[in-house]
Structure 1
Amino acid sequence: MRLPPIAGAAALALLTAAAAHADGHYVPGVEGIQGPSVPPAGVYYLGYLVNYNIDSLRAPGSSTVPGHNTGTVTALANRFVWVTNYKLLGADYGMEAIVPVMRTSLTFNAAGISESRSGVGDVYLGPLVLGWHGQQWDAVAAAGLWLDNASDSHPASPGKGFRSTMLTGGLTYYFDTAKTVSGSALMRYEFNSRNNGFRPGQQLTVEWGLGKSFGSFQAGVVGYSQWQTSDDSGLGATTDRARRHALGAELVYPIPGAGVFLKGAAYKEFGVRNSTKGQLVRFTLVKAF
């Protein structure tokens, strides 16, 4: 969610409204410990309940925009994954889809915005998921498309108003043969399409986790970073790029008899420029069928 530079009241109102929408579709912080590890063949449901509290707007130089500028985004991302028994390039082949449902409430006094909107967000279709597994490592590569099916008529609308092609790559490494200590990094790269003459810059997201097993559960340190890697183009474009970093902790608890994993994580953002700054809390339910 980028905040373009301040250039007068009218420009601020227009550009802060645009900041209510992320430059890309992918929300950082939904993956953490062992995020790049693809499960065995089967059908899975993953429900990500995410709450992002905006406590300020940050200008390109990381200074805080004056005034009361806060908001809350609450989303349930319903992810469906099918890992098949087929092999492609030596990897397990799968596919996935994500259907998010969200509610956004914004109070940006600097731009005169105060509204709340709810609805189904833009849908993700991923026809390519590849998972490799070694004795002490897992790797993933994937590709898919975020659609522009949701409404984007208001600053708090659930849709972005453009499509994004997303490429994924990541690695989990286990530091011991019993796989009780792990380190992982997962990368998402988004190529955004044009929306009414405006194209948001490309976006790189990296999520990482360091985890340790303690009997039946895992705990660890997690974090994410997000960078805009190219300039915006078209009407209202600037050369100011967004970035954000976050640090947090995660707990993972399995319920083997039910084929369920429960995960919880909390993040606090720092080093934010040209975007919103806040805290993110995420709860995940993983169910194997």
Structure 2
Amino acid sequence: MPESLAPARRPDPATGSSARALCVAAGLTAALGLAPPVAATEGGGGHYPNGAEDFMVGALPPPGNYFLNYLSWYNASSFRDDSGERLFTDFNLNVVADTLRLIHVSKFQILGANWAAHLFVPLVNVEVSRRIAAPFARETDSRFGVGDLIIDPFILGWHGKNWHVTTGLDIYVPTGDFNQHNLANVGRNYWTFEPIFAFTYLSDGGLELSAKLMYDFNTENHDTNYQSGQEFHLDYTVGYHTGPWSLGVGGYYYQQTTDDELNGYSFLNGFRGQVFAVGPQVKYDYRNMAFTLKYQAETQVENRPQGNTLWFKFLYAF
């Protein structure tokens, strides 16, 4: 094991940010993920693409079959440490992801809730470059492929006059390609189990309050002996509906709750990530289709890339 990665040790503060960046670069595989990286965890990225959901997220649709397409572009020009300072002197990340989602909502009910199931298939292109400090050369890498699949065979949705609640357990399957020697990867090489609770309140006057709450349990990446910490995160929307249009403000909040571990020891004081993002969003409903456009800017970032995301989402009801 390199001396900089010895258990329970951190770079001497006197060596400055360059030594700390060296330690991060050596200890992480930079598995930058299935979609826009939004956590600390291994490589500064997590499984769930935070900010993916928005209007009416707590409302399971009526029985039937649905197709959704999530097209996103994430760009980050800095990687922040646990003080919010730049970790690398030169860093750039671009992730373009096109994620296909199929949903089946049945007429079968459990405890008054409709049962449903869904599947996500992400197509990902990752481009990343970094320079730790002079005189180190700039490293670059890019990858394209199918990312880690997401399945949930047991989703339940309840409905009231002005409220909707949906629960489930999303499972991230490590199907995407991963190589610990790559700077960029389209898969993360570990499983994630993510309980979900989503709710929507829609007033008679068209005011909407929605949120999707998630908590992630990650397994160990056995190729790198890296255990990503547990994560709490939520997508939120405050909106207004008028005719076929929905207008609002939304984004996400993320907080890592347990330490990252490398070879069984806490990595860089836990390397816990956090972020808050906000931006405008608009949706247009047309017959059996819906189109959503939104932009999200990240702030209050620690131990992860800091950037912005542009989303276009399409829904089709069969």
TM category, shorter: over 0.9
Residue in 2 that maps onto 1:143: 169
Residue in 2 that maps onto 1:243: 274
CA deviation string 1:133-186 (max 9, x = no partner): 00000001011310011111123110001010111101101232x5x1110111
User: Normalised by the size of structure 1, how large is the TM-score?
Assistant: 0.92
CA deviation string 1:38-77 (max 9, x = no partner): 1100000010001110121101111112422011000011
User: How much does 1:223 deviate?
Assistant: 1.6
Letter in 2 for 1:175: S
Other structure's SS at 1:252 match: strand
Letter in 2 for 1:181: L
- How many residues were matched structurally? 282
2:289 corresponds to 1:252: no
Q: 1:9 to 1:84 in 2, by over 3 A?
A: closer
Matches of 1:63 and 1:90, distance apart in 2: 50
Structure 2: segments with no counterpart, 5+ residues: 1-9, 12-16
2:75 corresponds to 1:67: no
User: Normalised by the size of structure 2, how large is the TM-score?
Assistant: 0.84
Output the aligned Cα RMSD: 1.8
Residue in 2 that maps onto 1:226: 254
Larger radius of gyration: 2
Other structure's SS at 2:30 match: helix
Q: Which residue of 298, 306, 309 maps to 1:280?
A: 309
Residue in 2 that maps onto 1:95: 117
Matches of 2:29 and 2:221, distance apart in 1: 15
User: How much does 1:215 deviate?
Assistant: 2.3
Matches of 2:26 and 2:169, distance apart in 1: 33
Matches of 1:161 and 1:76, distance apart in 2: 20
User: How much does 1:19 deviate?
Assistant: 6.5
1:168-187 to 2 correspondences below 5 Å: 168-176=196-204, 180-187=206-213
Matches of 1:242 and 1:282, distance apart in 2: 23
Residue in 1 that maps onto 2:186: 158
Other structure's SS at 2:161 match: coil
Other structure's SS at 1:84 match: strand
Other structure's SS at 2:221 match: coil
Structure 1: segments with no counterpart, 5+ residues: none
2:19 corresponds to 1:11: no
Q: Which residue of 11, 29, 49 maps to 1:27?
A: 49
Q: Is the 8 A contact 1:198 1:237 kept in 2?
A: no
Q: Is the 8 A contact 1:17 1:113 kept in 2?
A: no
Identity of aligned residues (%): 28
User: How much does 1:17 deviate?
Assistant: 4.0
